[in-house]
Amino acid sequence: MGKLTAVAVKAASKNPGTYQDGDGLFLKVGKNGAASWLLRVQQDGERRDIGIGSAKLVTLAEAREKANQLRKAVKVEKRDVLVEKKDEAAARVTLKEVALQYHSENEAGWKSDVYTRQWLASLQNYVFPKLGNIPTGSITTADIIEVLTPIWQEIPETARQVRNRICAVLDYAHAKGWRSREAPSGNGSLKAGRGLPRQVKSRENRKSMPYIAVPGFITALRRKPSFGRLALEFLILTGVRSQEVRLATWAEFDLDGHHWAIPADHMKRGKAHVVPLSNAALAVLTKARALQLPDTDVVFPGVAGNPMSDMTLLKVLRDMSEPFHVHGFRSSFTDWAANEGFADAVVEAALAHKTPDAVQAAYRRTTYLGTENQPGARVKLMEAWGSYCVSRS
C-alpha cells in the first residue's frame, strides 16, 4: 500500500519538495506550486523518470494505476516507454507548428523584411488551409502535389517557391525528429515533368487585358460588390501590385491630401512608394470605408479581418470568365499611358520600377508628384487613367 493519502497530496501542493508514494511513484512539487506525478524505473541499467501527469488532473488512485501499467510495460513487456512517448508527441506536431518554428528561427538571417513576410504568407495562403493541421510525419508527396496543382501553371514562380518552402519545413521536421524521412526532392518526384506537369512559360500566365476593354470590365466588376472586387478595381486604378493592395491599411492613406503612402515592407523593392489617388480611386475607398469591418485596419479584409489571399483577386477574374492575370493590369495601364503620350519616366515612376540606367538613377531625383498648388505629371497621369477606367460607369 502507498505511503501517500489524498489529504497528504493536497497538503503537499503548498510545500515544494518530493513526496514518495512507494515502488518508484512520487509527487514532485515545484517552487511555483506546480505538482506532477513521476515514476522512477530502472531500464538497461539506467534510471529513468517517466511523467504521469499533473496532480491537478490525475488523482492519487489514477497515478497508482498508471504507474502499475508503466511498470508492466517496462519490466514485463520490455518496452521503451520514453521513446514511445516521444514518438507519440512527435506524431502530433503539425506542419503549421513546424513552419512557424522554422520561420521564427531563420527569419533573422533572411535578406529582407519583405522576403520574411512573403515566405510565411505563401504558406498561409496555399499550404496551411489544406496541410496546416496534419502531422508532418504523415505528409506524403501526393499531399504536396495536391496543394501545388491549382497554382502550378497559374502562378508558376510562386508555386515553385511554395514547393521549396514545404520541403524546407519537412526537412527541418526530419532533423528535429518529428518526421522519419526527409522531404520529397524538388529534383525527384516533385520535379516538373514527373510528379507535377511541366510548366508553361510564365509570360503566358500573365496575360494583360487590352486597355480598351478595361472600362467595360470595371462596369461589370461593380455589378456584384465585394471586398475582392473593390480591391481589384482599386489595384487597376492605382497601377500597383496585388500585395500592396491586399496589405493596405487605413493608416497609410491621406484622403484629404489624395495620396497613399505605401510602406517599404509592402513593396517588392523594399522602398516606400507614394501613389496619387484619382477621384475614381477615392470613390473605391469611400465604398470600402462604408463596409469596414470592426477590429481591423485592413482596407480590403479577407477572413477574420486579415489581409485577403492573393488568390482572391485572381478568383474574381476567373469567376467573371476572364483569362487575364491580375498583374497584367499594370501592362494595360502602361499601354494606355503610352498611347496617350505620357512620358516613359513618369509611367515608370508610377509603377515604382527601378530606373535601369545607373546615371539617370543617380541624377533623377524627382517623384513627378508636384505640389498641392501645382500637381505633378504623376498626379495628372493617375487622374487621367482613373477617368478613363470609369468612363463607361
Under 8 Å between Cβ of 81 and 118: no
Q: Please, what is the Cα angle at 163 between 160 and 167, to 5 degrees?
A: 140
Q: What pLDDT score was predicted for residue 177?
A: 80
Q: 119 Cβ partners below 8 Å, 6+ apart?
A: 103, 107, 110, 165
**pTM (2 d.p.):** 0.54
Q: Are 189 and 195 in contact (CB under 8 A)?
A: yes
Provide the pLDDT for residue 81. 62
Q: What is the pLDDT of residue 364?
A: 42
List the chain residues with pLDDT less than 70: 1, 80-91, 111, 114, 186-188, 192-193, 201-206, 354-366
Q: What is the pLDDT of residue 363?
A: 37
What pLDDT score was predicted for residue 111? 67
SS3 34: coil
pLDDT the model gives residue 202: 47
Task: Please write the tens of the pLDDT for every residue from 236-281.
Answer: 999 999 999 999 999 999 999 999 999 988 888 788 999 999 999 9
Structure confidence at residue 84 (pLDDT) = 56
Q: What cell numbers appear for 78 in the block?
A: 520490455
Structural domains of the chain, ranges and CATH numbers in brackets: 6-91 (3.30.160.390), 95-205 (1.10.150.130), 211-389 (1.10.443.10)
